[in-house]
Structure 1
């Protein structure tokens, strides 16, 4: 028989971007564990289901507000997942992107230093050029778009900070929000093919798609082990979106003939995308015991979640 950990011995985790996909998964998984007190935060009201956690409305681009909230709460761990992530919006609205990504991270890092919190920052494969992949933690960054530039600058802030830190780099995160409010490659391919629509999918970009639940698990393993440094937390399969679409169609028994191969030059987008990224996850496997789901298994998990959401 296991004994519950007393409240006074539990470590307090503060999560930014808790209303987002990763935030939802982090809160859900942390609540299943006994060793943590969870404080979720986001801009505006709480959109998370259930209870068992505290919620703070916080604009992380407001330096004084960040300082006040974190000095009062004094969390042991901060998991900073909030960011402006829409790559084309970042390219077109660079001031807003810098404020949401770099300034906000700077304020959170400063506050974390004062309370000596373990600062866990969620980064991206878009800090890389896309000339080669999959990459390990020592690959040299060279972003090709503004979003990637801001995330790299955030990483540099975190690495220079005077408290315990970890950087979680991830790739093409997909999953289902509790209210089905977000689309992803699985939902898009499934709904398009079910409607009999022909879809064009690129076959010259390579990624290691990551289930949101696996990313949350990776972040929590870092918190539990008080790990420091850079960790690649991603799925195990190195695939193009075209290959992903075919796996999705096969899983749901849909018409693969509607999936048309395209290359990146077919699409006109404000921000350039790195062609080949994806991550090697040997370090996370060895040091954290991280073991992500295959893309095929992840589709099965999403299929169950879709059915539950419809019931």
Structure 2
């Protein structure tokens, strides 16, 4: 991957900084040290790392709060990770989903257009219905749930706003951050199998899982290059969810007999989750210099991170 060549003149605002990707971005950007980093979230700062950046607690769905933050902090770049990401929450609370995932994004894009701020926006493979994966960036979205629909509507709002923006779609993000309260599929499987707990894992859905460190690097590359357009960011290996769980068991020498396969239909996901997504990531490789990390290599790095922070 290209070196993350941050410039001292860059002022990068990270929204959703308490989230999984948000915390990883803060950690990577502050360790690099040359740009000014501003982190914002609706709740108080939960990142154990508090050095090297400014944290501002703010509810960005309030238009005045967003505009006040931009006036005070004067970002040159925004990496917008804040979102309602639970499929169930988006189905059960459509108005809240619309406000967070669409209206807010449209407002941010308008502000970016007016103030000449570059926007990097995080989207999802769930803009597709999973009937024709792996997908190119130019393939026509067809969401099968409200979460995917909201992200697709947000993409459209950005593209129609006229702002300078990179839209990064990604898939099944996993990895490790210092905050022990943030988990993900890989760490969940590892934890449950370490306790000899039986888990059921879907066997007939396929994804290209994305290491959070790779996604953070891609987000920073998009910002530093002032990239524009849609980019697919993921690994380049298509696996079933079951195969990912089995890979976790194999790497950490855990008993895979505790993993019980189940069909998507059996847990009510036959029609409201894409069956097979996956991305063709050539554009991201060619234009951003993105290179995905192999699953086993990422597990090796996660093991080092777990040991470093005594969070095994």
Structure 2 CA distance for partners of 1:129 and 1:110, relative to 1, 3 Å: same
Tell me the SS of whatever aligns to 1:32. helix
Tell me the SS of whatever aligns to 1:84. coil
Q: Would the aligned equivalents of 1:91 and 1:271 in 2 still touch at CA under 8 Å?
A: no
Q: Would the aligned equivalents of 2:60 and 2:66 in 1 still touch at CA under 8 Å?
A: yes
**Aligned residue for 1:32?**
31
Pairwise CA RMSD: 1.9
Q: Would the aligned equivalents of 1:92 and 1:270 in 2 still touch at CA under 8 Å?
A: no
d(CA) in 1 for partners of 2:119, 2:251: 39
d(CA) in 2 for partners of 1:306, 1:137: 34
Structure 2, unmatched stretches of 5+, are: none
**Aligned residue for 2:78?**
78
Structure 2 CA distance for partners of 1:308 and 1:276, relative to 1, 3 Å: same
Structure 2 CA distance for partners of 1:159 and 1:131, relative to 1, 3 Å: same
d(CA) in 2 for partners of 1:190, 1:77: 36
d(CA) in 2 for partners of 1:64, 1:78: 17
The equivalences for 1:129-208 within 5 A come to 129-208=129-208
How big is the shift at 1:34? Answer: 4.7
**Aligned residue for 1:226?**
226
**Aligned residue for 1:23?**
22
Residue 46, structure 1, aligned to residue 45, structure 2: yes
d(CA) in 2 for partners of 1:243, 1:131: 20
How big is the shift at 1:193? Answer: 1.8
Which structure 1 residue ranges, 4+ long, deviate > 6 Å from structure 2?
A: none
Residue 99, structure 1, aligned to residue 99, structure 2: yes
d(CA) in 2 for partners of 1:10, 1:33: 14
**Aligned residue for 2:239?**
239
Choose 189-198 or 72-81, whichever is displaced more.
189-198
Q: TM-score, normalised by structure 1?
A: 0.93
Superimposed CA distance per residue, residues 56-98 of structure 1 (whole angstroms, 9 cap, x where no aligned partner): 1111110111112113322111111100001111111111111
Q: Would the aligned equivalents of 2:46 and 2:179 in 1 still touch at CA under 8 Å?
A: no
How big is the shift at 1:163? Answer: 2.1
d(CA) in 1 for partners of 2:14, 2:121: 10
How big is the shift at 1:269? Answer: 5.8
**Aligned residue for 2:287?**
287
d(CA) in 2 for partners of 1:88, 1:207: 19
Q: Would the aligned equivalents of 1:119 and 1:163 in 2 still touch at CA under 8 Å?
A: yes
Tell me the SS of whatever aligns to 2:306. helix
**Aligned residue for 2:211?**
211
d(CA) in 2 for partners of 1:166, 1:12: 17
Choose 245-254 or 47-56, whichever is displaced more.
47-56
Tell me the SS of whatever aligns to 1:183. coil
d(CA) in 1 for partners of 2:45, 2:200: 37
Tell me the SS of whatever aligns to 1:66. helix
**Aligned residue for 1:64?**
64
Structure 1, unmatched stretches of 5+, are: none
Q: Paired residues, what number? A: 306
